[in-house]
Amino acid sequence: MSGDGQGAAATDGRAIRVDRLTIPVPSDEIAIHRIATFVHILKHVVAPEERTLVDLGAGHCKFSAWATKLGYAVTAVDGRTERLPDDLGSIRFVQADMRDYDPRGHGVVAMLGLLYHLELGDQESLLRRCCYGAPVIVETQVHVPEMVADTPQDWHRLIERDGYQGVDFPEGDNPMASIGNPTSFWHSEDSMIRLFERTGYSAMTVIDPIFRSVYGARRFYVLTP
């Protein structure tokens, strides 16, 4: 993995190496922030042996489209088809449940806006399947109490489960929600590191700045098997 502005590594007694990297973004608007960060990571952070990318939970395929502009052969995978664009261009689309899909064989794995729609066991299973040698780009909600919505909700209550810490988020009934699970687990920042460590990754880069959705904090990570 390459990068610019990368901070010093820390282990804090963990088996996983933790680095930090600040990526400048042109706007605080969430859609622009996400695309700009993703493009920067593909251009300057990951250095895959093969310029192929699998976009897990691809949804509207906007990230897939940007990856094709950067010269990647892209496979977009999603359990739904409602948000697919009419013109996929060179993107190969596969309809599949993320709980079962095998992502191996791609140069980069992208998991953007997906992990926080899964329950704990499914998160661990998916991350282990992705830990085959390629860099993994994760973008997800994280539970940072001071960044949640102003109006208190029952799901804001911090819980501990299987050595992790976070909140149970109630999934909705819409094309962006999970399929089959009524709740999903959103980790605290420390718990997220524990998740990546437990699922076999040797190093991770925490991407700054953290940013905000209508529900709370979101962050990018780049994982190294």
The whole-angstrom separation of Cα 19 and Cα 189 is 14
Residue 145 has pLDDT above 90, yes or no: no
pTM higher than 0.85: yes
Query: Residue 10 — very low, low, confident or very high, per pLDDT cuts 50/70/90?
Result: low
Better-predicted residue by pLDDT, 186 or 172: 186
Q: Is 21 helix (H, G, I), strand (E, B) or coil?
A: strand
What tokens appear for 138 in the block? 């994760």
Neighbours of 183 (CB within 10 A): 13
Q: Is 210 helix (H, G, I), strand (E, B) or coil?
A: strand
Characterize the bridge pairing of strands 203-212 and 73-78. Answer: unpaired
What tokens appear for 10 in the block? 């820390």
What tokens appear for 86 in the block? 């009419």
Q: How many residues does the chain have?
A: 225
Tell me the domains of the chain and their CATH numbers: 17-224 (3.40.50.150)
DSSP 136-187: EEEEEEE--GGGS-SS--GGGS-EEETTEEEEEEEP-SSTTS-SS-SEEEEE
CA atoms within 13 A on the CB side of 103: 32
Q: How far apart are the first and last CA of the chain?
A: 11
Residue 176 has pLDDT above 80, yes or no: no
Better-predicted residue by pLDDT, 80 or 88: 88
The whole-angstrom separation of Cα 37 and Cα 127 is 21
What integer pLDDT is reported at residue 85 of this predicted model?
A: 87
Contacts of 220 by beta carbon, 8 Å cutoff, 6+ apart: 23, 37, 38, 41, 137, 138, 139, 207
What integer pLDDT is reported at residue 97 of this predicted model?
A: 92
Residue 107 has pLDDT above 90, yes or no: yes
- Average pLDDT of every residue of the chain: 91
Closest of 223, 59, 60 to residue 138, by C-alpha: 223
Q: Is 87 helix (H, G, I), strand (E, B) or coil?
A: coil
Residue range 179-191: mean pLDDT, rounded: 87
